[in-house]
Structure 1
Amino acid sequence: MEIRSLDAAGLDAVRDLRSQGFGPLSDGQWAQGIRLAGHTLRGGRQLACYEGGRPVAMARIHDLAQWWHGRPVSMGGVGAVAVAPEARGRGVGRRLMTEVLERCAAFGHPLSVLYPATTPLYRSLGWEHAGSLHRAALPAEALREVRADTSVSPRRAGPDDAAEVAETVRRVHRDAGHCGPIDWGETAWRIYLADRDVYHYLAEDGFLDYHWGDGNTSLEVERVVAGSEATLRALWALVGSGSSIVPTVYANVAPHDPVFWLTRERTFEEVRRTRWMLRVIDAPAAVEARGFPPGVSAEAALEIDDPQLPANSGSWWLSVRDGAGRLERGNAAGRPAVRVGARGLAALYGGVPTSTLRSAGLLEGDAPALDAAFAATPFALDHF
């Protein structure tokens, strides 16, 4: 068994494997996927495991950033993980994902995120559930009642607006102190904005993208991000204008998305959560890059056990103040240490309370300051 990096010429060899894992793709869908994942072909980010000269497993590592309290942290987004049916149950997936871990470390990503099709494999290698993508079903008629602020005039956006879209979305997440959303960067936005089946609207401090869904019987909102009430109302009013055509709008939203407070009626809500998993690749770098709640000061001793990435293991001293954190070797204060493995560390980083982690057997010890330091409600607006 051999794991090799793929280049553009080798992609066709894994198309059948990709279809077996996720369903058949048309030529157009396959071509678009190659364009969107083109950056993973550079520098060994597209991997395949070969047996007898043919690929039996594959994975890719997107070069992304993830927002944590308004600060972007470099993140390896793992996607398109597939194992051929005849190769399953033989440790092929584990070997491939071990290589993914090592490459994330080599690329310098302090974090990795993935959407699991199955949980046990990823947990065994240190990933843990940390956040969700929330998909809300909103009555289109309720959105129709959102009154647009006429001082804001969103315009259609296209590939030439990629830099402005990337910076606008980035600025909203930064200023709002969001935790969890992905920063794709200008190159990916340029490709995405060329999709004519998705409608993109840009304002000075906001962005909307949506498309038809369910055989043109609903609207699917990928994201609405806005830095002001006026822009938020203008963008949602655009969506709501389609209420005469469709009864329901499905939207990727934050857990406390302001859209829930814009509509006049709010009773029963249908929100579907798709969980994503986090892995801390480089513990001190991940803490240093992460933003923390403003006004919180905390110190704690940690004892980390990470067999897959032993550089994370050992005794550490955590200090948080003024929205920033540091994780340094040792425990100069001599305090009792909180003990966590890789899974517990990932969940803690994502804001899961220490009481929950203790009950789940993922953390030992008591340090109330950790809850205040890592407090977060992480969410995503993207699959990858």
Structure 2
Amino acid sequence: MEGTNNQTGEYIAVDLRDFFDTPEEQNEQDVGIVVLTPHQQQMYDNIISVAKTVDPDKYEVFEKRMRDLEDLARSIAHFPSLLERHNLSGGERTPQSLIDSLIKHQAEGDYTLQLPSKATLGKGFLVAKIHTFSSLYKFAKSIKQPDAVWQELQQETITLMCSLLAEDVYLNLLHDPSVEMEFKQKLAMALLLLWEHRTDQNVSDIAPTLLKIWTARRKLAPAFGTMMGTSELLMLSMQLDDQWTTFMKAKLGDSGVSQAMEEFLFGISHEQILQLKTILRTKGIPAIGRDEVSSFLGVHVKADAGLDYRDFYSLYTVRRDNARVRARMRLAGPHKTIEDYFIQFVMEQEKEKQNNDHFAK
């Protein structure tokens, strides 16, 4: 199979087996969409047993929803696997030909019609699953289950949402000319696995940190004055794990990363940040609070948001779309989101660790 050498531009051999850690892992690729992982199944069984006792009507609703998800997964499984060779009307399709297509297709605009049907249908399945776990979380909280129960369901809802976010990030990075070809091969393979199974180990590893970042951001009360956010960034990093701290130390000196972090922290665009800096400097105002931002800018901006997974994803997509426009129009400001930078960093670190472990054997 073939890939492209980013330095010479010539094609070099790339074995898809390089993307799997063990032969056993590759043998698991035929399972199709995973309706519930073992951990999710355990959570579901626990809360559904409670629902059966305290609210039989809700129990029936949840059971029907789960049957619907299973039916949807079976329907999607009828579409050709993305991890196997198929002779389709457009010609032979292999995992590597899909990877090559994802990497080579650099047209601007929405990607929907360029993606396999299974990818698009699976996204709908994932959204339905996210809503299902959100309903389970709300139910657990409403019947006053122990905090650990509903918090775990909330965490799982956020993790599932992060799979939706990761799909966007992978596509963003595949269309980033600064990303090396070897890494794009890894990203494309990660996308195929995500589309095939609607689970992603990278997301499982990263989601807890993303949730901590979002939670910490909400607790901060940044002063919209100098807009530098140095103290806020320090506070944010102190509340998080080593993975985030390592990322901050390694990448915050990059102007794109610092600008993307500033957008995330303050909840407004790079352009609005610059505008607000000018307004406050002109008026001689040292600092304002989040609730005053809209009045100073003259437009409504959602500079703050709750812990709802829809707020998390919605504000991410605003920053994502703004970054794409800047990149396309070659405008100043961040061309990627902080999530793009962070996920890329973590995946690169993991790849480096795997290489070191390989050479150490």
- Fold-level match, TM-score > 0.5? no
Q: Which has the higher helix share?
A: 2
Q: How does the TM-score come out when normalised to structure 1?
A: 0.24
Q: Comparing both chains, which one has the higher relative contact order based on Cα–Cα distances under 8 Å and sequence gaps of 6 or more? A: 1
Q: Which has the higher strand share?
A: 1
